[in-house]
């Protein structure tokens, strides 16, 4: 409705401008003197109701400074409203008697005069709630507001507690072949039967997110494969009832898949991943976080059959070793994002392979890869010059040498996480702070629980002009004065810091002994008895 209101406001403003120009030129026109004088008289006639003059359109031309608080239209009756709309649509300030008589109270001029395509265009900018409100205005608006062209993308995540199977089926019937994107994340009441009707009603579905839909099983994937052959994006993370059979049915007919998330689907093994990789060679994004069955053989099948991979998430795939990552690096040379957090069996061999083959790598998450050392990061940094984000949290074996290699070879780094890297010192931060590229590009630096970091580190970071966030939780040797210093230097810097309360030092205090016992703090005496001054 706000869109329609804005449309009226702009159009009416243009009409007023034309009327004002007309009134100023009436003195030079003899043929229209009578009409012009009457129009000018009505335009200049001031009212005493606190507003401004009223034009022939029934519009208030506001002159005061608080014009935004005044009503746009000063139309009191339905008849006057219809007259105004007719004048507005017909681009005239007058209306004949025949036109006035032709106005029917049961017909909305906006519906009668405005093309259906234009109303649909206006509705296309509205959200779900506004569309539902428009659908209650009239039968005509109900038809237009619920037209499938306005519902090509539906996100029901925010309504997860209210959405059940009937709601989804009704939406699918209304949208039909227009629906292309659907998000039903956490909608736990939806069943395989509802998904069958959805797939049947919406054959042009391209993207679907079913994360945490715990009632869905292989049957849903069967129906999607049967009816939705244009599917290119699917997220079935944490759908625990889906296994290798469901993946096989899905991939058999949806060979155009480019984006697939099977995170925490514990029943999907290397056989299911092999079927997916063999049938969907266009995969560019694959997420398998927490899939303990993601073995070296599965990694091999994925790498050989899907060489176009750009994003690969193998977080918590604890069975993977250097053998699987070496094959991935050799075949997926376009890889730009790799998450291998919590893969504790990986060594420097993986980093060397990444530096040798994956020159497009921009993001690496190596959290808790405790076997990575300075030598591995030297090889990786020399080959991955485009690196922008690096997460080395809990990589306890690295030292300041790793930071030196990064400063020398990776000028594009914007986000650097070094939390719990206990061997990082002020010298390592100096390498980052003295790098010209880091001074321009570094945005986020996390140094939580780095016990050897001192105020000197803060001084080194003063050169990083674009720093936006600094995390220094539990860095006990960093003082509050240093924090105030960098905060003064960068007023917009977001600093996350915590200073544990220190044990109070003992001082010589004058005490008054208890007259009933020999101690200065007796638990058996009253509070007024034992006084410590």
pLDDT (average), residues 218-238 = 97
Q: Cβ distance 274 to 300 under 8 Å? A: no
Tell me, what's the pLDDT at 402?
Answer: 97
350: helix, strand or coil: helix
pLDDT of residue 533: 29
Which of 53-57, 149-153, 175-179, 510-514 shows the lowest mean pLDDT across its residues? Answer: 53-57
Q: What is the pLDDT of residue 326?
A: 97
Share of the chain above pLDDT 90, in %: 62
Angle CA(86)–CA(88)–CA(91) in degrees, nearest 5?
Answer: 105
Q: Kindly tell me the burial class for residue 188, based on how many C-beta atoms sit within 10 Å of its own C-beta (0-12, 13-18, 19 or more).
A: middle
CB contact at 8 A, 413 and 386: no
Q: Say whether pLDDT at 506 is over 90.
A: no
- The rounded mean pLDDT for the chain is 81
Q: How confident is the model over 260-277, as a mean pLDDT? A: 96
User: Taking residues 467-490, what's their average pLDDT?
Assistant: 94
Find tokens 């906006």 and name the residue: 110
C-beta of residue 448 within 8 angstroms of C-beta of residue 474? yes
pLDDT in the model for residue 223: 97
Note the pLDDT of residue 220.
97
Per the model's pLDDT, the better-predicted residue between 342 and 40 turns out to be 342
| Low-confidence winner among 85-99, 147-161, 351-365, 496-510 (lowest mean pLDDT) | 85-99
pLDDT tens for residues 337-391?
999 999 999 999 999 999 999 999 999 999 999 999 999 999 999 999 999 999 9
- Mode of pairing for the β-strands spanning 469-473 and 494-498: parallel
Indicate whether 476 pLDDT > 70. Answer: yes
User: What does DSSP say about strands 531-532 and 259-261: parallel, antiparallel, or unpaired?
Assistant: unpaired
pLDDT the model gives residue 136: 87
Please check whether residue 533 is in contact with residue 510, taking contact to mean a CB–CB distance below 8 angstroms: yes
Whole-number pLDDT of residue 282: 97
* pLDDT in the model for residue 42: 40
In the chain, the domains with their CATH numbers are 114-150 (1.20.1280), 152-320 (3.80.10.10), 326-499 (3.80.10.10)
Of residues 171 and 224, more confidence is placed in 224
How many Cα atoms within 13 Å fall on the side-chain side of residue 479? 6
The reported pLDDT for the residue numbered 78 is: 52
Q: What is the pLDDT of residue 148?
A: 83
pLDDT confidence bin for 79, thresholds 50/70/90 = low
502 pLDDT band, cuts 50/70/90, is low
pLDDT at residue 291, rounded to an integer: 94
pLDDT digits (tens, 9 = 90+) for 309-327: 999 999 999 999 999 999 9
Choose between 524 and 255: higher pLDDT: 255
Tally of CB atoms within 10 A around 413? 25
Whether 105 shows a pLDDT value over 50: the answer reads no
Q: Confidence band (pLDDT; 50, 70, 90) for 409?
A: very high
- 426-442: pLDDT as tens digits: 999 999 999 999 999 99
Per-residue confidence band for 146, with pLDDT thresholds at 50, 70 and 90:
confident
Q: How far apart (Å, rounded) are the C-alpha atoms in residues 235 and 244?
A: 15
Q: Kindly list the distances between the CA atom of residue 390 and the CA atoms of 272, 287, 426, in Å, as whole numbers in the listed order.
A: 31, 19, 19
> Among 19-33, 196-210, 281-295, whose mean pLDDT is lowest?
19-33
pLDDT of the residue at 147: 86
Burial (CB < 10 A; 0-12, 13-18, 19+), residue 457, is: buried
* Cβ neighbours for 197, distance < 8 A, ≥ 6 positions apart: 169, 172
Q: What's the confidence (pLDDT) of residue 431?
A: 96
What's the whole-model pTM score? 0.74
Residue 279, pLDDT > 70, answer: yes
Q: How confident is the model at residue 63 (pLDDT cuts 50, 70, 90)?
A: very low
Average pLDDT over residues 20-43: 44
Q: How many CA atoms lie within 13 A of 136 on its CB side?
A: 6
pLDDT above 70 covers what percent of the chain? 73
Least confident of 36-45, 153-162, 200-209, 478-487: 36-45
- 32 vs 350 pLDDT, higher one: 350
Q: Which residues pair with 416 in a beta bridge?
A: 390, 445
Confidence check: pLDDT of 517 > 70: no
Residue 80 has pLDDT above 90, yes or no: no
Residue 109: the pLDDT is 66
């Amino acid at each position: 409705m706000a869109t329609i209101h804005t449309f009226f406001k702009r159009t009416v403003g243009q009409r007023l401008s034309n009327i004002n120009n007309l009134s100023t030129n009436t003195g030079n026109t003899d043929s229209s003197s009578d009409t012009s004088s009457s129009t000018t008289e009505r335009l200049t006639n001031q009212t005493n109701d606190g507003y401004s003059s009223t034009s022939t359109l029934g519009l208030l031309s506001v002159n005061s400074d608080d014009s935004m608080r005044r009503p746009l239209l000063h139309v009191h009756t339905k008849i006057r409203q219809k007259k105004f709309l007719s004048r507005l649509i017909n681009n005239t300030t007058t209306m004949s008697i025949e036109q006035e008589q032709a106005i029917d109270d049961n017909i909305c001029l906006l519906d009668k005069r405005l093309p259906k395509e234009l109303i649909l265009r206006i509705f296309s900018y509205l959200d779900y709630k506004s569309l539902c409100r428009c659908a209650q205005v009239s039968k005509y608006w109900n038809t237009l507001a619920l037209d499938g062209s306005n519902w090509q993308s539906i996100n029901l995540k925010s309504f997860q507690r209210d959405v059940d199977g009937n709601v989804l089926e009704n939406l699918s019937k209304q949208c039909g072949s227009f629906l292309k994107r659907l998000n039903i994340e956490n909608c736990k009441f939806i069943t395989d039967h509802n998904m069958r009707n959805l797939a049947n009603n919406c054959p042009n579905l391209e993207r679907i997110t079913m994360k945490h839909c715990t009632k869905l099983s292989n049957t849903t994937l069967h129906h999607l494969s049967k009816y939705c052959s244009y599917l290119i994006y699917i997220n079935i993370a944490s759908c625990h009832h889906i296994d290798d059979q469901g993946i096989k049915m899905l991939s058999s007919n949806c060979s155009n898949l480019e984006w697939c998330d099977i995170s925490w689907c514990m029943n999907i093994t290397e056989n299911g991943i092999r079927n997916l990789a063999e049938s969907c060679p266009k995969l560019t994004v694959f997420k398998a976080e927490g899939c303990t069955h993601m073995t070296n053989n599965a990694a091999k099948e994925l790498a050989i059959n899907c060489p176009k991979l750009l994003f690969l998430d193998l977080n918590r795939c604890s069975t993977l070793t250097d053998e699987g990552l070496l094959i991935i690096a050799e075949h997926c040379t376009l890889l730009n994002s790799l998450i291998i957090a919590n893969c504790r069996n990986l060594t420097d061999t993986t980093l060397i392979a990444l530096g040798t083959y994956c020159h497009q790598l921009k993001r690496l998450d190596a959290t808790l890869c405790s076997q990575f050392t300075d030598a591995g990061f030297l090889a990786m940094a020399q080959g991955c010059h485009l690196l922008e984000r690096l997460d080395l949290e809990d990589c306890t074996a690295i030292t300041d040498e790793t930071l030196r290699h990064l400063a020398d070879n990776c000028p594009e780094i914007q986000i650097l996480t070094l939390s719990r890297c206990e061997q990082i010192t002020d010298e390592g931060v100096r390498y980052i702070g003295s790098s010209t590229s880091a001074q321009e590009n570094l945005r986020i630096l996390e140094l939580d629980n780095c016990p050897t970091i001192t105020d000197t580190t803060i001084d080194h970071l003063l050169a990083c002009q674009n720093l936006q966030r600094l995390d220094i939780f539990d860095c006990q040797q960093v003082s509050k004065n240093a924090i105030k210093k960098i905060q003064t230097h960068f007023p917009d810097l977001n600093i996350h810091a915590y200073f544990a309360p220190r044990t109070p030092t003992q001082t010589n205090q004058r005490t008054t002994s208890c007259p009933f016992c020999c101690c200065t703090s007796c638990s058996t005496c009253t509070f007024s008895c034992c006084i410590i001054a």
